[in-house]
Every structure is written in structure tokens, then in C-alpha cells.
Structure 1
Amino acid sequence: MARTGFCDPKPLLDLHNKVSICSEGLNPALIWIFSQDNAKFTREVFSLSEGPTFHNKTSKRQVENNLLAYSHASLSSFPLCVADGCMEKPVLLHPPGLQGLHSLQVLMPSLLRHEVEMALEKLDLIWDRAYAWDMFLDMMRTQMQNSFPNTDLPQDFTDATRAVLVNWLIQVHVSAETLYLAIHLLNRSLCQIKVYTANLQLLGMVCLFLAAKKEECLLPEVSGLCYLMDHTYTKHQLLRMERKVLCGLKFDLSYCPPLHFLIVFASVARCSAKVVWMARYLLELSLLEGQCVVFQPVQLAGAALCLARQVLEELGGPEGEAAWCLASSLHVGSETVLLRIMHILANAAANAHTRETCATFIKFSSPETMHVSRHPGLKNASGLVGICT
């Protein structure tokens, strides 16, 4: 298409200084569903008795002991929250099926909030921990504002055409956050702005330029952007398209990328560095799949992390199982949605090395990313689907 590499990509985020343990999938007995109306979580039963399971070999007694030990270890290091001179009253919850066990005095709401706050603080996503939970709720709320009702593309556009453009953007992007925002703006622009096929590359570059303005400290020159497109378009055309996109989107560039949810979930779940890289690889593959547009960022992040753990088959101790159970409670959506996304990602990963749009495969085959795209467990799509179900 055109030249790539308008600047050296920033190093991918290393979430952990040391490798932590990871566990097998653990079916949570309950999940917390985010309510857009009142901006808070409500408890809902999440039963897997009628659907596929994720190799849960943990007994109820083990779940009880793991959660109890994990909650004691996590909560012993921080005091109860005090606001306006009043001490927050702990809420005792018993997962369904374990109500009669008196020893299961788990402070799930406080523990969940504490782990999310610790994750945001550890990942330098916040400056003041006092606002961490409110920021997380805002992350959950903003992802629903610009959802897509379907995967339909404008006339004369196909999923293959879109994948070629996204693959090119992956090669020339600056940071991961800029890439995810650029693809999101591209998806919205294709739905709201009339663009001719001849100007599709120009639209993609404008979306990348707008994303860089929002996420980067140093911006590329407009002349440099035209150079990347082999001077197919002029500066005037680029700036005119920028105005058209901004007006079409009503200057709304807000977006919480699935990458942010992924790193928060991985931190709460105590995932190893290799699981995180594998999940990031699967998540970036979703950008090339037009059918993933309709899913919420939190759903994509949860599915990518779950599939990564299954592919690598990393076992963990009781603490790891309890941590994954807690992280799984943050997933929003049904098990059917989760499995559908995992199937899409599994097929994308199995065919990534044979496609022309293989920029993501090459990117995650380097030593810095622990060669996750070349993992032998990704080559058999039917095997991955079997793991999921």
C-alpha cells in the first residue's frame, strides 16, 4: 500500500516485573453486572449448568477455602474505607450453592473494589487512588455510548477491504492506545460519513491522526502523513477530511479501549506475563475481524484473556484460582457471547500466519512479545474451539 513506520513503535506495555502464577479456568458462582442506568454493579447468578464449561475441576470446598484465604490475604493489607467520618459497612455475600457454609465470610464488594483500585494504581492509570473506583465505573459507562448495532458496512466496502486498511494502520501506528482509538474512529466514520472507496486510505490516516492528537505527546507532521501515503493525497485533502470526520462524529473522540480492561483484568487475576502477551495478541487480532465490532470492549478483553489462559494451559495454586474467579466476576455479558468471541479469536489466530493481513502476527512473533503468535497451540482452530467448549 504505502510506506510504513512513521516513527519507531513504543515498547509494548510490560505489566509485570516478575512472572506470577496463573490458574485453570474457574467458573464464578456469581457475576457483577454493570447497570448503565444507576452506574453500579448488581449481583446476578451465573449458572453454567445448561451450557459449556471451562474445565472447572475445583470442588465447592476448595472454592470456599481459596476465596477465604485470598480475601484474608488481600484485605489484611488495607483498612476499611472511611468517607465523611463514617466507616463503610462490609457486605457479606455467599455465592449460590454455598450459602450454608458459615466460614465463607467473604467481603466480595470491598475485595473487588480494592483489587480494581490496586490494579489501576499499579498500572499508572490513575494519579489519585481515591477516584479509582469512580474512574472504573466511568470506563464501564463510556464503552456503551458508541456501541454498534450491527456489522454492516457501507455499500462498496467489504470486510476484506477494511482488514487491509486496518492491517496497514497496525504497521504505521505509534502506541497501542492510539491504534485502538484510531480503529474505533474508523468504524464510527464508516457508519456515519459518506466516503468513497478511493478515499478509504485517507480516512484511515485521518482517524490515526486524530487518535494521535488525543493520545500522543509528540504529533507527526501533516507532510509526514502524506509521505506515508506516497503523496497520494495532498495536505489540503487530509485537513479537509479531518474536518469532515470531526463534524460527522460531533467532535466526540471519547473511547475506553479493550486494552485498558484487559490489563486491569490481568492484574486482578494475577496472570503471568506470557498470558498477558497472548491475550494482547488475540485482542489485536479482533481489530481485523469486522464481526467483532458489535461487541463491547470489556467483552473482547474478557474473551481474549480467557482464551489465552486456555491456550497456554498454565496452572496455578489456590491463590491463582481465587484471583481468576474474582477477575471473572468483572466480565459483562452472557456465556454465549463470551464463547462466540472466543471462537472468532480462535479461528483468527489459527489462520493469522497464512493471511496477507499478517502485521499483527509478525508484530507478536518478536522476542519482546515472547513469540506468542508462534505458539503451537494456536495452529489448530478446531482444537482451540474444543478447549473453549
Structure 2
Amino acid sequence: MENQVNRKKMVYHTIAKRGIVSKTDLLGQFELSTSTMNRLLEELSGDGYIEEVGFGPSSGGRKPILYQAAASRGYIVGLEISRFYSALGLFDLHFNAKTLVRWRMDEDMTPETFVAHAARQLDAMLHDHHLSRDRVIGIGIGAVGPLDREKGRILKPLHFSAPGWTEVPICELIERETGIPAMLDNGANTALMGEHWAMRDDRPDLQHALYVHAGVSLRSAMMSHGQIVHGKVDMEGSIGQMIIQAGGERLGSHGNYGALESYVSVRALEKLAQSEAKIRRDELLPLRQTSPDSIAYDRLLSELSQNNGQVLELFLRTARHFGIGLANLINVFHPELIILGGPLVTAHERFYQTAIEIALSHTYYYPEYEPVFSKGVLREDAVVTGAAHMVWKSMSV
């Protein structure tokens, strides 16, 4: 019975991934008899998970029936919990976003307020699409770590504006408020899941990939043989504690001295700009009223958009450190693809290109081995889409 369930799920996932497929195509992929495949397709069709979409070309006999996954068999919700902005998306089973909303995480967005707000947004979405809550299969959550995935808890994240985001049983709170089962993983992992799915047509054989987000902190995820790699503890922020300069700086009151995050993060860039402004203030920020200690990232972005060369050099200095960190990861794992995201990566094209150039120049086996770099397909929607995809992969058929 267990083998039957697994086979059925594998056939369904294959149909969903490939879009439109015939029974002959499926028989070529699975070592199953024609009668067994017929039975699985009949069950999936009878349960509404797949549907017939016409006939394929004949190879001499009858034209083969073509199948695809049924988009409206159910719906999945993706929820992103981040420090600055969070998002909620309602997806059909083709991963079309029916509605996607985003909101700011200000000082009033405590866990209780957040959960109530997310539930109201979900009810509005369902109302707009004339759906009841029982049509929703589950809610996938991609959140800032560290986490306890098995217990569905957010542990001790840093830099939330609102209080209360410590030891939060987020899955329990969401389930209690909505009546819908929820599951949790860190946002870097769900972002990589989402991007992997979105790239399935262009890169169908992609097996080994990295995702690195550079923003308020550094976050990363790793995929090997098409599966997310999970460690004993949540690894999302580990890349930030990679030491790139022995005896170097420390960012704040925690973490390693000389860690990558001390040189590559929004807070590190602000600290660098504040230090530089005290030395050459008029060159860096041509606003005499601005106190160096009050220089914030938004102001740096504004100056960058106005082609301030001194500010650009600060971003590029940060990018060079980022490239060193990427090279260390690449030399350990040798992935096929590295997806880069986050506010620093998207701030300026030269940041992105400089980081890549430095990473490749320190990559062992280069140029014989040369990974592909990308900003992804989904970009800011990757976390919420991947969170929904996590639920889809786990659902029973």
C-alpha cells in the first residue's frame, strides 16, 4: 500500500512538473507496467488531481491521451515573515499567484498582530476568489531564522522592529487563527525551492544550487541532488559567521570577530559609511545638516541613485568582501548555479557584477569549472512562492 501511495505521488509530481505529458512519456520514466500506470492515472483523474487535455500526435496507432495537473483541485498559501516586509500569497496547483500582498513590518507588528493581520488578508483573498477555507490545502511559512522546523517555532531572530519575536510557536498560532495546517522552514530555503521550481523548464536537470541573500543579515540555502540540505540546527544565517579576516571587526555584541556579516550587510555598510563620513563628510554625503552617526541605508541608496562616486565605492568595497565569502562557499560545494538576492545585490548592477568577478577569481578549478550566477526568476516573490511549494511537495494525493 505504501509503495502504491509513493508511486501515485511520484507520477502526480512528474505530471505537474512537466506540464503536459502522455502515458507513454510516463511509462518511459517509471519502471511500471501499463496496467499499473493505467490504474494510477485513473485514480489521480478520479480524485481530481489530473485532467485530460486532448490528444498527442500518433506514432502509428491511436493518438495518446495527454494529461496535466488540475490547477483548481485545491489551493495553497505561502507566507513570508521577514524583518522589513512580509508577504502572503494564494496559489493554485499550477503555482499561479491568484493574489499576493505585501506589508511593512513596523514596530507595532508583534507576532499576535501579525497573525491576525495575515488571517484577515487570507479571508479577503478567499472572498475575492469565492473560495472557502476548506479549499486551502495548507499554509507554508518561510521565516527569518533561527528556527525549530519540527516544532514550528521561530527562536531568537535579530533586528525585528516589533517586540515579542522570540520563541514564537508560529505554526500553532497560524493554525489556531485560520484552522488550516501550517509548516515552517527558513526563508532562504523556501526562496531556493521557489526558484528551483520556476527554473524547471530552462534548467530541468538542475541538481546542485546555492541561494545567498545579502540584506540586513546574510542568509543562505543549499540544494544537493534536487533537495534542500538541512543541518542539525537551522543553518540560514551561518554564512554570515564565516570568518574572512582573522582578528577582524565584529558587528554588534554577538557573532564572530572578522565574520563576513561584519563586512557584508546593510548594517555593516551603514557603519562603514558613518566612519568614512567623519573623515570626508562633504565628499560622501553633500548634506551639511546630516550627522555622520545618523547615516542610514535609505540615504545611501538615494546618493547611489544620484551617481555619488564615493558612495558607489563603499558598495563596491562591500561587494568585494561578498565575493570572497561566495568563493569560500563555492570551493566547498561546487554548485551548478548560485542565485543572489537581497537589497545589496539589487542596489546596483556593479555590486552584483563585482561580487561575481571576485568570487570567480578565487574559485578553485576555474575556468574549467564555472558556475552560473543569477538573480533568479521570482526574486522578491521567491520566499512566499517557495513556502507554498513546500506544502505542495508534502501533500497527499
Task: Give the shorter-chain TM-score range.
Answer: under 0.3
Higher strand share: 2
User: Which entry has the higher C-alpha Rg, 1 or 2?
Assistant: 2
Bigger RCO (CA 8 Å, 6+ sep): 1
Q: If the length of structure 1 is used for normalisation, what is the TM-score?
A: 0.23
